[in-house]
Amino acid sequence: MTNKNYSKTPANPEKSCKTRGSNLRVHFKNTRETAMALKGMFLERAKSYLWNVLKHRECIPFRRFHGGVGRTGQAAVFGTTQGRWPKKSVEHVLSLLKNAEANAEAKGLNVKQLKIVHVQVQRAQQQRRRTYRAHGRINPYMCSPSTVEFILSEIDAAVPMPKAVAPKTRMEKAL
């Protein structure tokens, strides 16, 4: 059974959980950068990373929508120079990750092994307001909400690499 609301189905639906937030009143560009910074992280690390962003210990690297974004030394960890600490986006994404964790627990998955395998942020429909200008003019005052979806999958524990076997010499091969 496929869910038409999600853009992708997980490779192993029994070991995956999903979460989605639609029409969130949070800036699309900030939310996109926040969500993409989490892709490939384990759930516990992603949550601690977002808490560090709220405390200004780590930043969100801005890679695509970086026009006018200031530089910070914290972005050097990600191989870029520009970064910010978008509070509202981080709070919304953190609530979605908490929801994903609850979905995983309800499904009986191991939360410690959940990895964020799919992230998608889309522009939602803009909402219209108006601002009143000089000389009786009226200009649009729009917001840029976003729709966010995450898919987390349970990753099996890493198998240790076997000890390297010394290559046989020519004499040993001949025997």
Contact 34/86 with Cβ under 8 angstroms? yes
The answer to whether position 171 is within a domain reads no
Residue 80 counted as domain residue:
yes
Q: Is residue 139 part of a domain?
A: yes
CATH number of the domain bearing residue 120: 3.90.470.10
Q: Is the pLDDT of residue 48 over 60?
A: yes
**Residue 133 located in a structural domain:** yes
pLDDT of res. 174? 64
Structural domain count of the chain: 1
Buried-state track 150-166, b at ≥16 Cβ within 10 A, e below 16: bbbbbeeeeeeeeeeee
pLDDT digits (tens, 9 = 90+) for 55-104: 999 999 999 999 999 999 999 999 999 999 999 999 999 999 999 999 99
Residue 158 has pLDDT above 90, yes or no: no
Query: Which of 31-35, 48-52, 92-96, 167-171 shows the lowest per-residue confidence on average (mean pLDDT)?
Result: 167-171
Tell me if 174 is assigned to some domain: no
Report, as an integer, the average pLDDT of 10-26.
95
Domain for residue 170, yes or no? no
Query: Does the pLDDT at position 4 exceed 70?
Result: no
Domain, as residue range, for 113: 16-154
CA dihedral 37, 42, 43, 44 (to 10 degrees): -110
Does residue 171 surpass a pLDDT of 80? Answer: no
pTM, rounded to two decimals:
0.85
Please check whether residue 83 lies inside any domain of the structure. yes
Max CA distance (Å), the chain: 99
Task: Say if 72 falls within a structural domain.
Answer: yes
Q: How much of the chain, in percent, has pLDDT values that exceed 70?
A: 94
